[in-house]
């Protein structure tokens, strides 16, 4: 309890408030966007293209934005991110037709990188290593709570003012978040060294050096696998699979609601556990649990068991968000944390975007069951690589620590 009170200081509370509002805004938009796009004349193909636009934007912008945050500071990027969220939501509301939604989706993708992922770097900057477990637990719990509140808030506003009205309300929340970020976040521009030193250490052409750090690559591969699992397999094909078992749509929606609740509840305890045990072990455990759940999903037909497996997948996903972010923060320096988070974000975007296409082709050719089995096998293979890279990172850390001790 004393450790939690120490972590609950202004800079941590502020970033959690900003991220909470960002996820409320996302929660307002996500459940209704496809319907809204169709109301503006979008075909199902266009709806799919609009969905992939955010993923592609994140894929190509994560690394540059991460490097920018290393140069100009996290506060500026986070504030701009909330302003971009407001601009995107207003763009949705004021779009005269479906085609105008595309630039707004690009802005929304940029906003996600500037907030959710740069927020990870900010938390890593402002807390001590022994505080990271609880701090990241609070951060990811704030994300989950925001995405839980968002759909409820959006539905209440939409019932009275329509979907466009709910998007304008979301834009107002994002503006409030921008004010909180601008006034409340701590300004850290040097991240452990002079600004000139950062410029020398991390030129744009040197950002690829991050990819030679095995710890960052291991954490990013884990994010790719988890994004592949949920974004590529579960979100797209669990509803299709359960519907083929004659499970009603209302029940399927309820399953996902319970999954989101379980995912949120798992995040803070994971942070507390990570304060006592290595984050890499928690990361291994979440990936292993996800692998087992995916394979078991194709072996059962009971609605209750499928619901339980989906909740377990949500718990694993929420636990990974916390442990994976801690792991990446531990395996980079303050000077390169933005770039490291950029790699982490890029990997997640690649996992969800590419796997949706690949798994769709597999499902069409071989059936939905094979999607879950293939995803499970890919996680198993990736987990072996992650263990190998994590050990390399730990082995490399020992000589660095010995050298630092000798210099001291």
**Per the structure block, which two tokens stand in for 73?**
């500071």
Q: What is the pLDDT of residues 98-107, one digit of tens each?
A: 899 999 999 9
Q: Quick one: pLDDT at residue 254?
A: 77
Q: Quick one: pLDDT at residue 401?
A: 40
| Cβ(164)–Cβ(39) below 8 Å | no
| Average confidence (pLDDT) over 121-126 | 88
Buried b (16+ CB within 10 A) or exposed e, 211-222: eebbbbbbbbbb
Q: What is the pLDDT of residues 3-49, one digit of tens each?
A: 667 777 788 899 999 999 999 998 888 777 877 888 898 876 777 77
Residue ranges in 298-336 assigned as alpha helix (H): 303-330
Q: What is the DSSP string of 210-272?
A: GGG-HHHHHHHHHHHHHHIIIIIIIHHHHHHHHHHTT--HHHHHHHHHHHHHHHHHHHHHHHH
**Per the structure block, which two tokens stand in for 195?**
């600004």
Could you please state the CATH topology (level 3) that the domain comprising 1-189 is classified under.
Growth Hormone; Chain: A; (1.20.1250)
- Nearest CA to 330 out of 221, 204, 226, 218 is that of 218
Highest-confidence range of 63-67, 189-193, 251-255, 354-358, by mean pLDDT?
63-67
Q: Quick one: pLDDT at residue 372?
A: 93
By CB atoms closer than 10 A (0-12, 13-18, 19+), residue 239 is: middle
| Cβ(246)–Cβ(301) below 8 Å | no
| Average confidence (pLDDT) over 296-308 | 90
Q: Quick one: pLDDT at residue 373?
A: 94
Average pLDDT taken over every residue of the chain? 84
Distance between CA atoms of residues 298 and 363, nearest Å: 13
By CB atoms closer than 10 A (0-12, 13-18, 19+), residue 160 is: exposed
pTM score of the predicted model: 0.76
Confidence of residue 404 (pLDDT cuts 50, 70, 90): very low
Q: Quick one: pLDDT at residue 351?
A: 87
**Which letter does DSSP use for residue 193 in this model?**
S
Residue ranges covered by each domain of the chain: 1-189, 203-397
Q: What is the pLDDT of residues 320-352, one digit of tens each?
A: 989 998 898 888 877 778 888 888 888 888 888
Q: What percentage of the chain has pLDDT greater than the value 90?
A: 37
| Average confidence (pLDDT) over 346-372 | 85
Q: Quick one: pLDDT at residue 336?
A: 78
Distance between CA atoms of residues 170 and 175, nearest Å: 9
| Cβ(56)–Cβ(93) below 8 Å | no
The CATH homologous superfamily of the domain defined by 203-397:
MFS general substrate transporter like domains (1.20.1250.20)
């Amino acid at each position: 309890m004393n450790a939690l009170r120490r972590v609950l200081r202004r800079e941590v509370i502020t970033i959690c408030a900003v991220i909470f509002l960002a996820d409320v805004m996302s929660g307002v938009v996500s459940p209704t966007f496809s319907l809204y796009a169709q109301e503006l004349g979008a075909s199902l193909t266009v709806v799919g293209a609009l969905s992939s636009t955010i993923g592609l934007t994140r894929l190509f912008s994560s690394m540059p934005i991460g490097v920018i945050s290393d140069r100009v500071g996290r506060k500026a990027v986070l504030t701009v991110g909330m302003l971009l969220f407001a601009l995107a939501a207003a763009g949705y509301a004021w779009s005269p037709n479906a085609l105008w939604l595309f630039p707004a989706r690009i802005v929304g993708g940029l906003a996600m990188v500037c907030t959710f992922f740069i927020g990870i770097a900010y938390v890593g900057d402002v807390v001590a290593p022994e505080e990271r477990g609880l701090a990241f637990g609070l951060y990811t719990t704030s994300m989950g709570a925001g995405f839980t509140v968002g759909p409820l808030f959006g539905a209440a506003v939409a019932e009275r003012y329509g979907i466009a009205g709910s998007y304008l309300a979301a834009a107002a929340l994002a503006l409030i978040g921008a004010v909180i970020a601008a006034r409340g976040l701590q300004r850290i521009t040097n991240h452990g060294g002079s600004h000139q030193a950062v410029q020398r250490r991390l030129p744009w052409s040197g950002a690829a050096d991050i990819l030679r750090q095995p710890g960052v690559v291991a954490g990013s591969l884990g994010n790719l696998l988890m994004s592949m699992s949920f974004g590529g397999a579960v979100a797209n094909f669990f509803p299709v699979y359960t519907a083929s078992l004659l499970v009603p749509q209302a029940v399927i929606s309820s399953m996902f609601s319970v999954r989101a609740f379980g995912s949120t509840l798992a995040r803070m305890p994971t942070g507390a556990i990570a304060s006592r045990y290595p984050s890499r072990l928690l990361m291994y455990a979440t990936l292993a649990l996800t692998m087992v759940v995916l394979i078991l999903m194709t072996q059962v037909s009971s609605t209750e068991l499928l619901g339980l497996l989906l909740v377990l997948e949500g718990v694993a996903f929420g636990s990974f968000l916390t442990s994976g972010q801690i792991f990446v923060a531990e395996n980079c320096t303050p000077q390169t944390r933005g770039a490291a988070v950029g790699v982490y974000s890029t990997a997640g975007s690649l996992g969800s975007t590419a796997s949706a296409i690949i798994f769709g082709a597999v499902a069409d050719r071989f059936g939905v069951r094979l999607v879950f089995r293939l995803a499970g096998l890919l996680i198993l293979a990736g987990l072996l690589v992650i263990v190998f890279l994590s050990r390399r990172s730990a082995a490399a850390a020992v000589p660095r620590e010995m050298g630092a001790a000798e210099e001291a």
